[in-house]
Structure 1
Amino acid sequence: MAVREKFEIELLELKNKLIKLGLQTSAALTASFGALEQQDFDLALEIIEEDVKINLLEEEINDFAILLIAKQQPVASDLRRIISAIKIAADLERMADFAVNIAKSTIRIGKEPFIKPLIHLKQMHGLTIEMIDLSIQAFDKEDIVLAKEVSEMDDEVDSLYGEAIKSLLERANENMAQVTQLTFIARYLERTADHATNIAENIFYMVKGRHYDLNE
Structure 2
Amino acid sequence: MTRLEKILANILDELLLQSEQVEEMVELGLRSIEDRCDDAVAQVQTLERTINDREVKIEEACLATIALHHPAASDLRLAATILKVNGDLERIGDLALNLTERAEALREYEQLAIPTELAEMVRYSLSMVRDAHRALQEKDVALAQRVCHRDDQLDAMNRELIVSITDQMKQASDLLSGQLHIFSASRIIERIGDHATNIAEDVMYLVNGEILRHQHKIFDQIGAPADGRFGIDGSFNAKR
Output the TM-score relative to the length of structure 1.
0.93
Query: How many percent identity over aligned positions?
Result: 25
* Alignment gaps of 5+ in structure 1: none
Give the aligned partner of residue 214 of structure 1: 216
Cα distance per residue 1:80-135 (max 9 Å; x no partner):
11011110010011011011101211222224326334221111111111111111
The question of whether the paired residues in 2 share the 8 Å contact of 1:41 and 1:106 is answered with: no
Residue 63 of structure 1 deviates from its aligned partner by 0.7
- The range that moved more, 180-189 or 109-118, is 109-118
Cα distance in 1 for partners of 2:186, 2:88 equals 18
Give the aligned partner of residue 3 of structure 2: 6
Cα distance in 2 for partners of 1:68, 1:170 equals 53
The question of whether the paired residues in 1 share the 8 Å contact of 2:5 and 2:75 is answered with: no
Residue 184 of structure 1 deviates from its aligned partner by 0.5
Alignment partner of 1:63: what SS?
helix
Cα distance per residue 1:162-209 (max 9 Å; x no partner):
111111112112410111011111000001101111111111111111
Verify: 1:143 aligned to 2:131, yes or no: no
- The range that moved more, 109-118 or 133-142, is 109-118
Cα distance in 2 for partners of 1:54, 1:108 equals 24
Verify: 1:205 aligned to 2:205, yes or no: yes
Give the aligned partner of residue 180 of structure 2: 180
Cα distance in 2 for partners of 1:145, 1:157 equals 19
Cα distance in 2 for partners of 1:137, 1:215 equals 22
1:126 corresponds, among 120, 123, 126, to 123
Verify: 1:77 aligned to 2:79, yes or no: no
Structure 1 counterpart of 2:42, one-letter code: L
Cα distance per residue 1:130-149 (max 9 Å; x no partner):
11111111111111101001
Output the TM-score relative to the length of structure 2.
0.84
Structure 2 counterpart of 1:185, one-letter code: A
Alignment partner of 2:112: what SS?
coil
Mapping 1:156-171, distance limit 5 Å? 156-171=153-168
Alignment partner of 2:104: what SS?
helix
Verify: 1:102 aligned to 2:99, yes or no: yes
Cα distance in 2 for partners of 1:114, 1:187 equals 22
The question of whether the paired residues in 2 share the 8 Å contact of 1:39 and 1:110 is answered with: yes
Residue 19 of structure 1 deviates from its aligned partner by 0.5
RMSD, aligned CA: 1.4
Cα distance per residue 1:26-73 (max 9 Å; x no partner):
110110121122222222222123311101111111011111111111
